[in-house]
Structure 1
Amino acid sequence: MRLTLFTDYGLRTLMRLAGEPDRVFTAEGLANELDISRNHLTKVVRELAALGFVATRRGSGGGFQLGRSATAITLGDVARALEPRQALVECFQPDGGACTLTARCQLKRPLAAAQEAFFQTLDVVSLADCALGPPD
């Protein structure tokens, strides 16, 4: 299974926030530190905030930080929340896709099991386990 770049950035962002949970980060500062586009990071942070993983502050001294304890968030929580827009295969799309083999296909069940095993592996790893402190 391959995670989208959006999910990759989301995980990197959360791992970094978990490294300094009391710090308020700015989009500019974290984008520079992670070497990703500020605009892309802003979209990621907006989604993470909507999902409750990140808390945001407006105004002077504003920014964002981890929305809850790093021990209470698993990598599986994050991946499941950010990946629904990306179907593993066409027939996993909400509309079922347009695969002509769907009626007789024997591939969907093992792929669904493999995808669930992937997420279950991530379910046992918390953000606290992967927290990244400040760069050297």
Structure 2
Amino acid sequence: MRLKKYTDFALRVLIYTASKPEGELASKKEISDVFHISENHLGKIVHQLNRLGMLETIRGRGGGIRLAKPASEINVGSVVRIMEDDFALLECFERGSNHCVITPACKLKHILHDALLAFLEVLDAYTLEDLLSNKDELRNLMEI
């Protein structure tokens, strides 16, 4: 199972934003500099996280971004499900484009489906707050 960079970056934005000291805003420029991600790409991610109610954006001079709700209310599994638009692990997972002749008798599809569900179940057990149990170490690494 491999997640898209978009999902990875969304999780990094949330971790960075949640790591900021209480009341302090983050900026796309800061996040871009820390993770070496283009500001343009981050803008799309921040916009989506804002629309989903995970981030709050404050416009204007002195503006920035911050969590829109407590880190304990942001579920990692939910973030991954929202950011990933496709969990088709193999061709046989895709509707309408499966050309594999063994699909009707193949057990692999069912095994991989179970594995995907187990993967997501593990992610569902964690919140953003769980990812911050070492907040001081994260802040040092991100130079916050």
TM range (shorter): 0.7 to 0.9
Greater per-residue helix proportion: 2
Report what 2:135 is aligned to: none
Cα 1:79/1:61, change in 2 over 3 Å = same
Please give the secondary structure, in 2, of the residue aligned with 1:87. coil
In the TM superposition, structure 1's runs of 4+ consecutive aligned residues that sit over 6 Å from their partners are none
Matched, 1:133 2:139: yes
Query: Aligned ranges for residues 1-136 of structure 1 at < 5 Å?
Result: 1-20=1-20, 22-93=23-94, 95-101=95-101, 102-131=103-132, 132-133=138-139, 135-136=142-143
Asked if the contact 1:71–1:127 (Cα under 8 Å) also holds between the matched residues in 2, the reply is yes
Count of residue correspondences: 135
Please give the secondary structure, in 2, of the residue aligned with 1:65. strand
Shift of 1:77: 1.3
TM-score, scaled to structure 1: 0.86
Larger radius of gyration: 2
Cα 1:97/1:22, change in 2 over 3 Å = farther
TM-score, scaled to structure 2: 0.81
CA–CA separation in structure 2 for the residues paired with 1:64 and 1:121? 28
Which protein has greater RCO, CA pairs closer than 8 Å, 6+ apart?
1
Asked if the contact 2:92–2:100 (Cα under 8 Å) also holds between the matched residues in 1, the reply is no
RMSD: 1.9
Amino acid at match of 1:72: E
Gaps of 5+ in 1: none
Identity between Structure 1 and Structure 2 (%): 38
